[in-house]
Structure 1
Amino acid sequence: MTAPLAPAAAPQERGAATLPAPRPRRALRAFLRNPTALLGLALLGLVGLAALLAPLVYPDDPLGMVAQPFLWPGQDPAYPLGTDSLGRDVAAGVAHGARVSLLVGLAAAAVGLAAGVLVGAAAGYCGGRTDAALGRLIALFQTMPAFILLVVLVAIAQPSIPAITLAIGATSWPTVARLTRAEFRSLREKDFVTAARGLGYGPLRIVGAEILPNALPPIVVTASVMVASGILMESALSFMGLGDPNAVSWGSMIGSGREVLRSAWYLTAIPGLAIVVSVLALNLVGDGLNDALNPRLARER
């Protein structure tokens, strides 16, 4: 008698060695192979580390007067970045300012993303009159100068970190809404969405489990840009005197140092450099995410 034939391998097992890696893993590998993205991530990590360690390294009030005014960087080892016109430690201000700037940038981006994704998803998926009405609402907000609207909102409310965060989020959501609307309109008629409808899935499940994950890559890239924009907007408000008076930020440090720009230029240069490094890091990370998540670039790789 002949020996029985061995059972055939399952299709997944036969092709397991040749199947491409899942998309998130490919995107992660592509991101980690991008040197500029890693540079941006490293710079952002340094800024985040400074923000986390600020209460430990500088436990005292960063607005407190602790030394002689106008100590230049390196003049006194106890104050490596010098002091300002009131004798406040510049290094403590930069470290605590990182906490405020990152907090406002991240929270404002979260507010803008939440509002933009909700409005854009509703417009793109529902279509018809809902799409037309929400599309006009998005266009209306986009016709308003964002920074002027931001100044008006903050001036009406009491200047504080929550008020500034909500105001920045309220001016940044239209960009996300327009992008999300376009993505949902292109995806709602795809075969996998039609199959989900045929299986009896409800609209919320289709939107949350089927369409939104496929629309996330461009939204994630936009989120990094929104964080950078939030940092710049908060700095501009603080520079104009519309920031939280009870919190130190990079913008307020630049604003207080502009009066002595010729004699003590370091008071504006040091926090300005912190803003440049943070925004540059976020832009580099955003470019790396775009290269990793863009399907056209992925096919080229």
Structure 2
Amino acid sequence: MTNVKKGFNRFKHAFLDSRQLRFGIYGTILLLFIVIFAPLIAPENPYNFGPDILNGLGENGHLLGTNKMGQDIFSMLIYGTRTSLKVALISALISGLLGILIGGAAGYFGGKVDQVVSEIINIFMMLPTFFLILLIIALFGNTLPNVMIVIGITTWPSNAKLMRAQALSLRERTFVKAAVAMGETDRQILFKYIIPNGIFPVIANTTMGMSNAILTEASLSFLGLGDPNAISWGHMIYEGKPYITSAWWITTFAGLAIVLTVTIFYLLGDGINYTLNPKHINQRGE
């Protein structure tokens, strides 16, 4: 109970001290609200085509106008939030899990395991990630699940490096050496002591990585390599390119939605990093 209370107090103080964390949490709550209540917020079904083609702002009851197929832009923005958050969450989860497991094992076991993993991480870090994503999408298809998986498996090295550094430090701690002396297995030590105590920097980095996942998906859709069956902000920009001078609202509002969402997740990740930073914890006297 004491640990729970201490954790709550830490979060409360960090929430009051960090504007980034406050704005990030408020923004995330807003995005979740839009995702959950999208059918109620959107005035029309964004997948339905209509006769009102390229209507301007407010014309024929369309708040943000329509596109070349008569789809309501405001409704597409609302449902595009679902796509962006799905991509961000699932790809970040894949990246985080891979980074934690691979980096934790490399740092804890050391030796040849660490050498091999470090070389693999270096290779991934040197590769142009976006072009690697383009290659994999071209080979295996551009469905939304493929996009999420590809983003996840190409962004894990940064998380692995953070987790490896934590594991290298933690394995020298007294409580880990005591667990070894008591006869606990390597797997027990890794999952009971190393990962739970070293995961916090990875959480902050993964949250910021959600911003990059949204940008990557939008970039793929902008190039015409996103899932054509999903409502996506990047796909909206792609479809609106030919009409950017005559129907600017198609691309403008989708672009603003991307910028706003990316900023929210960046602020959230920066706020979490501030909360978990030992220097700031000591300054707060916790």
TM-score, normalised with respect to structure 1: 0.89
The root-mean-square deviation of aligned C-alpha atoms, in Å, is 1.9
- Is 1:68 the counterpart of 2:52? The answer is yes
The amino acid of 1:105's aligned partner reads A
Specify every segment of 5 or more residues in structure 2 that has no aligned partner in the other structure, as ranges: none
Task: Tell me the SS of whatever aligns to 2:199.
Answer: helix
Aligned to 2:188: 205
CA distance in 2 between counterparts of 1:205 and 1:86 reads: 57
Aligned to 1:4: none
CA distance in 2 between counterparts of 1:31 and 1:232 reads: 28
Moved more, 282-291 or 204-213: 204-213
CA distance in 2 between counterparts of 1:154 and 1:211 reads: 35
Of 141, 145, 161, which residue of structure 2 is paired with 1:158? 141
CA distance in 2 between counterparts of 1:161 and 1:231 reads: 12
- 1:196-231 Cα deviation digits (max 9, x unpaired): 112222212211121212212201101111111111
Structure 1 segments, 4+ long, off by >6 Å, are: none
The aligned length equals 283
- Do 1:69 and 1:87's aligned partners in 2 also have CA atoms closer than 8 Å? yes
CA distance in 2 between counterparts of 1:153 and 1:52 reads: 32
- Do 2:100 and 2:195's aligned partners in 1 also have CA atoms closer than 8 Å? no
Residue 245 of structure 1, CA deviation: 1.1
Moved more, 233-242 or 212-221: 212-221
Task: Tell me the SS of whatever aligns to 2:282.
Answer: helix
Aligned to 1:82: 65
Residue 20 of structure 1, CA deviation: 9.5
> Cα gap change, 1:160/1:144 in structure 2, threshold over 3 Å: closer, same or farther?
same
Aligned to 2:34: 50
CA distance in 1 between counterparts of 2:71 and 2:82 reads: 17
Residue 60 of structure 1, CA deviation: 6.1
- Is 1:119 the counterpart of 2:102? The answer is yes
- Is 1:36 the counterpart of 2:20? The answer is yes
CA distance in 2 between counterparts of 1:241 and 1:298 reads: 46
- Do 1:221 and 1:290's aligned partners in 2 also have CA atoms closer than 8 Å? yes
Based on CA coordinates, which of the two structures has the bigger radius of gyration? Answer: 1
- 1:150-194 Cα deviation digits (max 9, x unpaired): 111111112101100111011101111111111101111111111
Specify every segment of 5 or more residues in structure 1 that has no aligned partner in the other structure, as ranges: 1-18
> Cα gap change, 1:20/1:44 in structure 2, threshold over 3 Å: closer, same or farther?
closer
CA distance in 2 between counterparts of 1:59 and 1:210 reads: 51
CA distance in 2 between counterparts of 1:266 and 1:200 reads: 65
Aligned to 1:27: 10
Aligned to 2:274: 291
The amino acid of 1:173's aligned partner reads W
CA distance in 1 between counterparts of 2:144 and 2:45 reads: 17
Residue 260 of structure 1, CA deviation: 1.0
Residue 21 of structure 1, CA deviation: 8.1
Task: Tell me the SS of whatever aligns to 1:196.
Answer: helix
TM-score, normalised with respect to structure 2: 0.93
Identity %: 35
Moved more, 45-54 or 189-198: 45-54
Aligned to 2:225: 242
CA distance in 1 between counterparts of 2:126 and 2:43 reads: 45
CA distance in 1 between counterparts of 2:194 and 2:5 reads: 18
- Is 1:256 the counterpart of 2:239? The answer is yes
CA distance in 1 between counterparts of 2:178 and 2:9 reads: 26
Task: Tell me the SS of whatever aligns to 2:155.
Answer: helix
Aligned to 2:75: 92
- 1:218-254 Cα deviation digits (max 9, x unpaired): 0110111111111110000001000111111000001
